[in-house]
Structure formats: C-alpha cells, structure tokens
Chain A
Amino acid sequence: MSDSTHHSQFAENSQSCAPAVSVSNLHMSYGSFEVLKGIDAEAAEGSVTSIIGASGSGKSTFLRCMNLLEQPKEGRLEIAGETVEFAYSDKGRPVPVCKQVTRNLRTRVSMVFQQFNLWPHFTVLGNVTEVPIHIQGVSRKEAIERAEYYLEKVGMSDKRDQYPAYLSGGQQQRVAIARALATEPDVMLFDEPTSALDPELVGEVLNVIRSLAEDGRTMLLVTHEMRFAREVSNQILFLHQGQIEESGTPEDVFENPSSERCQQFLSSIIH
C-alpha cells in the first residue's frame, strides 16, 4: 500500500519537475581561486547536454561537482532524486555533504573518465560487475547478466576475461562505459572521454556514446569534439571563466552565438 503510494508520488514528481539535473548558483573554489562563479543550468530527462569551452574555463570542475568529486561551497544541486544545498563554514571551507546522501547520489550518477581508469587487477568482467556486486548489493548472477548485456552493447563481449593492460585505449574506454552503464544510473557524466585516445580510436567510442544518446539516456558530456557535440546534443553550454557565457540548442550556439567570446572560441576551434 505504502509502496504504491510512494510510486505514484514519484511518477507525479517526475512529470511535474521534468529536469533530471538542476543546478542553481553553483560556486566552487580551489583555495582563494574561484573556478565556478555561479552556474545555473538544467538538463531534461533523457537529454544530452554538452559542455564546451577553453581549457581552464571550469567545465571539468563543473562536471565533477555533479557527483561531488569536487565540493562546491555555495549553491544547490538537484540530481537523480537527491537535492544538495552547499554551504561553507566561517573559515570559508565547504561544509561536507552528508555521507549517506553522497553515497546515494554517487551510485545513481556514474562517470566516464578521460583516462578510462579501469582497475588493472580486475578482468573486464570484474571491472563491470564490481560496483553492482560490492556497492549496490546485486547478486553475482544478476551482475554478470547485466555486465554481459552492457559489454555486448559496447561491443566488448569477446574480451570479458581479459585484463585492461591487454586492451587498446578505445577498448578500455568502451569497457569503462559498460562499467558506468552496469550501475544503471539515472545520469551519466562523460569527462572528455576521447581526449586521451589516438585519433583512429576516437570513432569507436563516439559511436557507443551516440547509441546511448539515441536510447534517451540523460547525459552530461564535456568534450572538445565540436562536430560530435553538435550532432548528438539537445543542449550546449559554453563555459567561460567559470560562468555560462552562452547556452541553447546546438543550432543557436554553433550558428548564431550571441556572445563574442563564444564566437571567438568556435572560430578558433573550427577553422
């Protein structure tokens, strides 16, 4: 009884507040250096948001705030059903977010890293089943089924018993994507997923990400692949010096950028 009530409430909620991610007035500093100076953004359920900008503009930091790898000192984050309000102490240090909230949030927001970061002492299958078995409490059998499903999806089934050291960068990144998928997250974060790859390996990873976009997964993507961002995204955020300088649909941002900095950035990258 209570279960069904809860469920209907949840359904109502997800209809009334459509954004899967909502960020307001996010501030983040490294010591006295302010990296993010008040970010407001939203991402709808099932949408792809690409975050672009020059290096040092704060885009990776912004993404890392989404699963609290960096702790903002001010602002509000709503993601995967969790709401976190950030505050800072008298000494100017961020007040740590409650451990339970952090853990809940992190098990539902999964991340793909620039350097893949597979655990070298686990096989491909071990990497993909690690989080479901040891953090989410899924049975080994179900975790392996899940892993097989997602490894198939990224085209890495035949390497399930290999160790990461034996795989190419592109293959490692595809396994890392399967690992992120196997946690069945509400939101996926990609932190420059192709920047560490040799040019000929970029395509295979982008193809996998593209197929996820077509599946309607909520994704936030920091990338330098402008053509790809334009093609798969529903929304583009252009960051400059810790602020969102330009945002909108890919057409708006890439064809009619209103900000001068965004125009400069795009022309420097594309031409």
Chain B
Amino acid sequence: MDFSWIHDPFYQSYFWQGFVNTLMLVAISGFFGFILAVLNALAQVKGPRPLAWLAKGYTTVIRGTPLLVQLFFFYDGIGRLLPMIDGIRQSIIWPLLTNAFFFGCLTFTVSVGAYAGEVIRGAMASVPKRELETAKAFGMSSWKILWRIWLPRAIQICLPTLTGEIILLLKSVPLVSTIAVVDLLRAANIVRSETFLVYEPLLLVAGIYVALTVVLTWVMHTIEKNFPGAKPQKSALFSRL
C-alpha cells in the first residue's frame, strides 16, 4: 500500500474540491428536489386532472430511466442544444448553462423530485382519513388542512424512507465524474492516472463515503427523533447504512 501521494498538496486540493462539490450537490439537489417532490405529490393527490397526469408522467419517465442516461441527456443533449438559441450566449444565465456542476444539480433535483415525490404521495395516502375529517369537522378549509395537518403528517410518516432516498442521492454523486465535475471519484482517477495506483485512492474515496453516510444517517435520525409527535423509538443509528 502506497499512500505517499496523500501528502501532495496538488492531490489534496483535488480531493478537497471533490469533497466540497459532493456535499454541495447533495445539499442543493436535496433541497430543491424536496420542494419539487412536495409539488409533485400535491399535483398527483390534489391537482386538477391534467396536472395530475403530467406529474404522474414525469414520475414514470424519471423513475423508468437510468440516472446516468438522464445526466447525459441534460448535459450533452440539452446543454448542447441551448447554444443554438439566439442571444443566449450574451444572457446572464449563460455561465450557468456551460457549467457541468449546474447540470449535475439539475439532473439530481429532477431525480429526487420524482423518487421522493412518489414516497410523499404514498405517505399522504396513508395519513388516517379520520385525522383529516376531524379538521374538516371543525371548519378547516381544505388548503389549511393540507398545510397544517395532511402534509406535516405525511412527512412525519415517510421521514425514514426519505433518509434512505438522500443516502442513495449521496451515492449517486460519482456519476457526475463522467461530465467533468470534480467529485471524489474524479480526484481518485486523477491520482490513478498520474501515479498508476488503483486501490489506494479508491480506498480513500470509499472511506469518505462511509463516513459521510454515517454522519448523514445520524443527522436524519436526529431530525426523525425530534420531529413533532414522534413516538419513542430505539436507537437505529446503524440500521440504515
């Protein structure tokens, strides 16, 4: 085992950049993906029929195609078509549209919106009807029931499943190394190509991912435990790795 490269500031900076990009990708697409997922679930549960169909179709297409294909589709497909639009090269958003990191975030956001949307939709269906009926019986309007009772209860029910989704998201991140984003895998590949060491940099990547997953699981478990009205439960810290 040869880990001497680890002391080289050049490789260190790549790994650091990969680490930061990984966290940013998970945070950004986790955040916007969650918002998209809620909208997706609402459209399916409560939306007018055309909107419900649209949301259903979106979910089906995204869940039915490989994430890597979607990444290429957004980056190589749409990313290459956009420059044909007149004047877009001069617009403010042009730097964003030439940025691989942006397309990584976009793809993951769309993916989370579909997968988590389906989870939230299922959770909304499993909130006991009588809790909603009680709110109705006290004169609550249907939008208020949605925001005060239905949605919070659904999130409470599906939090453990969402934890699983966000960990899957974390471990999808290496895919972006194929579209020229520096992530941890990309950093490892750079080390390999220059030192001809295969296993050592990959071991480091694996170690970092395990550590990130443990931390993420702990964070989500803390949120679950402190979610309003959570039932007392046994420690499940390592149960979802």
Contact = CB atoms under 8 A, between A and B. Distances in A.
Interface of A: 67, 69, 102-107, 110-111, 113, 115, 117, 119-123, 130-131, 134-135, 163-166, 183
A134 B144 contact: yes
- In the A-B complex, list the 3 residue pairs whose CB atoms are closest, starting with the nearest: A106-B139, A121-B229, A117-B134
The bracket for how many chain B residues form the interface is: 20 to 34
A69 B139 contact: no
Contacts of B153: 119-121
B130 A69 contact: no
A269 B135 CA distance: 34
A103 B229 contact: no
26 contacts: A69-B133, A69-B137, A105-B139, A110-B138, A111-B134, A111-B138, A113-B130, A113-B134, A115-B130, A117-B133, A119-B131, A119-B135, A120-B153, A120-B156, A121-B152, A121-B153, A121-B156, A121-B227, A121-B228, A121-B229, A123-B228, A131-B138, A163-B229, A163-B230, A166-B232, A183-B138
Given A117-B130, A119-B131, A135-B144, A164 B229 contact: yes
Contacts of A121: 149, 152-153, 156, 227-229
Interface string B119-141: 00000000000110111111111
B148 A111 contact: no
A165 B231 contact: yes
Interface of B is mostly: helix
Contact of B148 (A69, A110, A134): A134
A120 B128 CA distance: 11
Given A120-B229, A165-B229, A165-B231, A106 B137 contact: yes
A79 B114 CA distance: 47
Nearest to A105: B139
Contacts of B144: 134-135
Nearest to B138: A131
B130 A106 contact: no
Nearest to A132: B138
B131 A107 contact: no
Contact of A122 (B130, B139, B227, B228): B228
A121 B228 CA distance: 5
Contacts of A104: 139
A103 B134 contact: no
B139 A119 contact: no
A117 B148 CA distance: 15
Contacts of A106: 136-139
Nearest to B153: A121
Contacts of B232: 165-166
A107 B138 contact: yes
Nearest to B130: A117
A57 B163 CA distance: 48
Given A120-B229, A131-B138, 5 more contacts: A119-B131, A123-B228, A163-B230, A165-B232, A166-B232
A65 to B, nearest CB: 12
B189 to A, nearest CB: 46
A57 B7 CA distance: 82
A102 B131 CA distance: 19
A105 B137 CA distance: 10
Interface centre among A102, A117, A121, A123 (most CB of B within 10 A): A121
Contacts of A166: 232
A117 B140 CA distance: 15
Nearest to A163: B229
B137 A67 contact: yes
